[in-house]
Amino acid sequence: MTDQGTSLHGRVALITGASRGVGRGIALAMADKGAAIAVAGRNLQSCRNTVAELNRRGAEAIAIQCDVASGEDITRAVEATTSRFGRLDVLVHSAQSFNYGPIRRLTPQEFDESWRTGPLAAVQLMQAAFPALRETQGLIVNVASGAGITAPPAMAAYAMAKEAMRTLTRVAAVEWGRYRIRALALCPFAQTDGMDDFEQSMGVSRDKDLVPAIPLGRLGDPETDIGRVVAFLASDDARYLTGSTLMVDGGYTYLR
């Protein structure tokens, strides 16, 4: 029997970037705890594929085409979620563009894309979702990155945007605590398609360069290592936790 403290039955989550990677892992883990899921992403068919897997597991879910760089798409995604399920308990912003390269070569457009899909999208999502989250005394989880702390070379646009996500989350926790809305940042390190793209773009090897630097000796699994943490954060057992950043990275950021 599912422990009542960690059960998400009756709760609804809107997750951006949920068609793949960490976002998909979060969707699967939350659904396994009983949550209904709104799967939002740019590629509608990929979102539908995630919904099909959620349905196969017995979860309620809908697919929403949403480019988080578009304020109109964001508004529609929140409205579609509340229209379908009648409420919104958890907002997870996991979508983010990846722009790599040394500072002297990154274009203003690449910096702008990182900003628009990261912290600016998070702001717009939070604003659109605020009325629904106030009703449910809900949770915001913004997916950040240890790159904002370790400041690796050639990742200025990405690291800048991800660190801004952590700051935004802390301010939201302070401002919206009066409404009993919680806000948390998550810094994962997981095996995803994005990690594959990173390896190719940066010319690094996970086996030679990345895994040896992780104290626990492996990259995380998007569902069982990352998603289950978010499922816990969304549960009643974590109801007094807000404003924090959780480093779900096997110790990579602070222990290497």
Domains and CATH numbers, the chain: 12-255 (3.40.50.720)
Q: What is the pLDDT of residue 236?
A: 97
Sheet with 139-143: strands ordered across: 61-65, 36-41, 12-16, 90-93, 139-143, 182-188, 245-248
3-state secondary structure of 35: coil
DSSP state of 1: -
What residues have CB less than 8 Å from 167, skipping those under 6 apart? none
Asked whether the beta carbons of 183 and 243 are under 8 A apart, the reply is yes
Q: What is the pLDDT of residue 3?
A: 65
Closest CA to 185 of 116, 232, 233, 225: 233
Q: Which residue has the tokens 């989550």?
A: 13
Extract the residue ranges of the chain whose pLDDT is less than 70.
1-4
Rounded CA separation 50/76 (Å): 19
Helices (H), the chain: 21-32, 44-56, 71-85, 108-117, 119-136, 147-150, 156-176, 193-202, 228-233, 252-255
Reading the block at residue 13, the tokens are 């989550």
Q: What is the pLDDT of residue 207?
A: 87
Q: What is the pLDDT of residue 1?
A: 44
Q: What is the pLDDT of residue 76?
A: 98
Residue 179 annotated in active site: no
Catalytic residue of the set 158, 240, 252, 254: 158
